[in-house]
Structure 1
Amino acid sequence: MSTENEGNEGTAAEAASSVPSAPPVPADAPQGPPGSTPPAPPQPDATAVQPQVSPAYDPATTPMAQVPAAPQPQSPPPAPQSAADAGWPPPPPAVPAYAHGAQGGGPVWGPPGQLQAPGAPRKRGAGGLVAAVVVAALVAGGIGGALGYWAADSNDSSNSSGSTTITASANPQDLKRDPGTVAGVAAKALPSVVTIDAQGGDGEGGTGTGFVYDKEGHILTNNHVVASAAENGQLTVTFSNGKKYGAEVIGRAEGYDVAVLKLKNPPQGLTPLELGNSDQVAVGDSTIAIGAPFGLSNTVTTGIISAKNRPVASGDGSGGSNSYMSALQTDASINPGNSGGPLLSAGGAVIGINSAIQSTGSTGQSQAGSIGLGFAIPINQAKNVAQQLIKTGRPVYPVIGATVTMDEKTGGAVISDQGTGGTDAVPKDSPAGRAGLKPGDIITKFNDTVVDSGPTLIGEIWTHKPGDKVTLTYKRGGKTSTAEVTLGERKGDS
């Protein structure tokens, strides 16, 4: 799995991992032209023509953009099947697949599916997908307009016969919805959600999402959304009312894939979104996602919490480090451009930051679309990171001080024989060393959470703070033991 994504570090807390890139999700299968003449019914003595059955879809081998062959001209074509740092330094770079509207790879976690961050950086020329969506919308709008005109003309004709046409009131008051409804939550949250345009000095850039964090003008988003413009680029923030403001990066945390911006001239009356408690989220809870999928700002989608504590690793596709999270999984529709946007509870509180999506195959492209597998950074973790970035401008990562392998199917996080550059995998003065851990030990649990790999361990470690005491369960020589570890810290440059 993986995603954010849209950032990261080499060997994570002395662990390393690489993640594959994720591809784009295909559009719906083409439909027949409107108004086409249906085929004549077969004669009684004629042999019925059976539609051809396309071969079974294998997500590991079938290109995402490939549409199964249509059976017969008379039959509608079938729709395509869509498919931790244990210590430090961070893990090796991975190509991410983000939920941010840009080109580049995306976060990934485990075959055959690949996680793509909705919003990874892209070249300016990669706006084709967004353009395609806009064109499609215009075409659809033209058809809808024609149908609307025909309906209006029919009404006018009937009115001349004495019928009465009743039109809906244009009074905004009539559009108000109860606070507990999706429409009510969206209406309250949209003014505090922004679309972020990031343009780097080298021409790279992309579109992502963010939201108002406090009344001082801080905006919370993903690191991969703003990474391309963080040093010498340009950041523009657009509110739902169309007003634009320049912004600058206050701090970035690649490992967490979190970034904080500050509006250069913040308007009066900013309303921060309410932050919820992601630890109290339950599987099955309703979710609402807001973002700018493929550049379509102020898009609202709904779903549920599909799973919790989902290990996700992602990279920014630029040779940077990986990010790790113990993510909230949701089936709310999340696409490139949603990265950095809020995942809300049914009550309207932010419970996560949408960061990654999973795609089902590879077409050699870097975009991906929603197949109901989206991943969000729990807001409790993101809030801690944001507070640190606002305070110091630099992230702080909790570590156990042991280098672990990043193999996926090892039955746990295996402590390596050596650390980075031939150093000790478990320094004696590190938290793990003081707790008695040794190279070759296999960590199988972090507190009560089962650990099946190095990335899972790192994701769990990073949900805590330096100084927290945790219990590690590990195997050595076939024997299971536990160790109490006080997490250390490592300050990052970004």
Structure 2
Amino acid sequence: MTLSPHDTQHLPETGRTQEIPAASVPPSAASAPPPAATTTPPAPPASPYQPIGDPPGQPPRRGRGLGQTAAVALLAAVLASGGTYALTQANEPDAAAPAAATSSSQQGSSPTVIQGDAAAPDWSAVAKAVSPSVVSIELANGAGSGVILDKAGHVVTNNHVVEGARGNGAIQVTLSDGRTYDASVVGTDPSADLAVIKIDAAPDDLTPITLGDSDALAVGNPVMAIGNPLGLSGTVTTGIISALDRPVTTGTSTESPFGNQGSSEPVVTNAIQTSAAINPGNSGGALVDAEGKLIGINSSIAQLGGGLGGQSGNIGIGFAIPVNEVKSIADQLVADGTAEHAFLGVSARDTVTKDGSAQRAGAEIAELTAGAPAEQAGLRKGDVVVAIDGEAVDSSTALVAQIRERTAGEKVTLTVIRDGQRQDVAVTLAARPAS
């Protein structure tokens, strides 16, 4: 499915029309790391998806700056699912590294990698630790990747990877050691482009991924993407977090360019942008930090121009759904097969407004839903939203992405410009009404 940066769309969270525009690793937590990379098993999680271990201190996440909309408009994000199969199965060649990690599976989850040199991560150690937690997913009409969440066999992936699955045996999951199992869909969330499937008759030696904290990420930190690009399972690529809070819209077409059926509802993600190579088939795979912790689910790529051009693939700009959002949605899908989303209750459009002696891009409120959180909080037509909880909002797409990242019942502070003056408005988000 192609994603045009200039389509006009209407999204249910805000009811707005919008011009569509169109990631990071905590530094090593080891205070006295050994000279070679080693691994240590994480503490038992409180739940199957509870992040393991305290994340190291990080600078706060930053919002996007003014002027990004024009730059991103040159790109079209496309779903990184895969319908292309290779005749051979290949892994990345072994990289020179101080030492490989020694894995420990006493507690059943992927070990945490302690890097000997944070400035030069041992990616061989990370790949060895994390690869058992990443699977290849194949359907009759496409392929993708997935990440093992728990010992019961729940696997999180993108909705567009498994959307076309019908009937028993329609989905096959291949583990990193080559064993293949049938799987079935547990629940899907098209608006977040996430799904949970379950391995049938799951073996008892599955290795769930260790979860990180996407709120602790910083631009410039190194990351690794692991998945099944072009049918080449177990492929790893490295790069950095290129940007955070990047609003990316994918999916209004009814058919994916890579063979899978696309969602009829636009997907807006407050995404992690990464330079790690992501290609068709990487969808649903893991984006991990240098400690081997999951920080995002790879979901889409950017490409130049409006045409598919033969599925041009990676150009150095890929996007991942932040792990904190993934955890929230996956918990709900495992529990009852559906997911609840936050709702503000406004219709918004892109604008530029005066901010003191300067000008600033933002999301202008065009309409308010009667009785919705925005109206109850005192927001007005004509207010221009420029930030949420201090994170910049410079378009209607950014506003939708920020709301979708949050949960129903969460309290947020919207910074708006009204009559040329800034003011903060506290809002308690509600659950999005059923459409």
TM-score, structure 1 as length reference: 0.64
Distance 1:364 1:339, change over 3 A: closer
The corresponding residue for 1:426 is 369
Shift of 1:372: 1.3
Shift of 1:491: 5.8
* 2:328 paired with 1:384: yes
Q: Is the 8 A contact 1:3 1:313 kept in 2?
A: yes
SS of residue matched to 1:388: helix
The corresponding residue for 1:415 is 365
Aligned-pair Cα RMSD in Å: 3.0
SS of residue matched to 2:401: helix
The corresponding residue for 1:91 is none
Cα distance in 2 between the residues matched to 1:343 and 1:320: 26
Cα distance in 2 between the residues matched to 1:433 and 1:450: 21
Structure with a larger share of its residues in strand = 2
The corresponding residue for 1:190 is 131
* 2:264 paired with 1:320: yes
Q: Is the 8 A contact 1:447 1:472 kept in 2?
A: yes
Shift of 1:176: 4.6
Q: Is the 8 A contact 2:414 2:427 kept in 1?
A: yes
The corresponding residue for 2:296 is 352
Q: Is the 8 A contact 2:225 2:276 kept in 1?
A: yes
The corresponding residue for 2:211 is 275
Query: 1:214-363, aligned counterparts within 5 Å?
Result: 214-229=150-165, 234-315=170-251, 317-318=253-254, 320-363=264-307
Shift of 1:478: 3.0
Q: Is the 8 A contact 2:21 2:397 kept in 1?
A: no
* 2:402 paired with 1:466: no
Shift of 1:471: 0.9
Cα distance in 1 between the residues matched to 2:186 and 2:18: 28
SS of residue matched to 2:347: coil
Distance 1:256 1:207, change over 3 A: same
* 2:44 paired with 1:15: no
SS of residue matched to 1:415: strand
Shift of 1:20: 9.5
Letter in 1 for 2:123: V
SS of residue matched to 1:283: coil
Shift of 1:332: 0.7
The corresponding residue for 1:154 is none
The corresponding residue for 2:80 is 118
Percent of aligned positions that are identical: 39
SS of residue matched to 2:163: helix
Q: Is the 8 A contact 1:426 1:437 kept in 2?
A: no
Shift of 1:198: 2.5
Distance 1:281 1:387, change over 3 A: same
Letter in 1 for 2:230: F
Q: Is the 8 A contact 1:3 1:357 kept in 2?
A: no
Letter in 1 for 2:132: P
Cα distance in 2 between the residues matched to 1:386 and 1:10: 26
Shift of 1:314: 1.0
Cα distance in 2 between the residues matched to 1:440 and 1:376: 33
Q: Is the 8 A contact 1:10 1:321 kept in 2?
A: no
SS of residue matched to 1:188: helix
SS of residue matched to 2:16: coil
Letter in 1 for 2:128: A
Q: Is the 8 A contact 1:395 1:492 kept in 2?
A: no
Summarize deviations over 1:165-189 as a string: whole Å, max 9, x none.
Answer: xxxxxxxxxx955654211111121
Residue segments in structure 2 that go unaligned for 5+ positions in a row: 23-69, 91-98, 103-112, 116-121, 255-262, 354-360
Structure with a larger share of its residues in helix = 1
Cα distance in 2 between the residues matched to 1:399 and 1:231: 34
Shift of 1:315: 1.0
Distance 1:476 1:216, change over 3 A: same
Cα distance in 1 between the residues matched to 2:71 and 2:302: 8
Shift of 1:387: 0.3
Shift of 1:259: 0.7
Cα distance in 2 between the residues matched to 1:351 and 1:258: 15
The corresponding residue for 2:399 is 457
SS of residue matched to 2:237: strand
The corresponding residue for 1:371 is 315
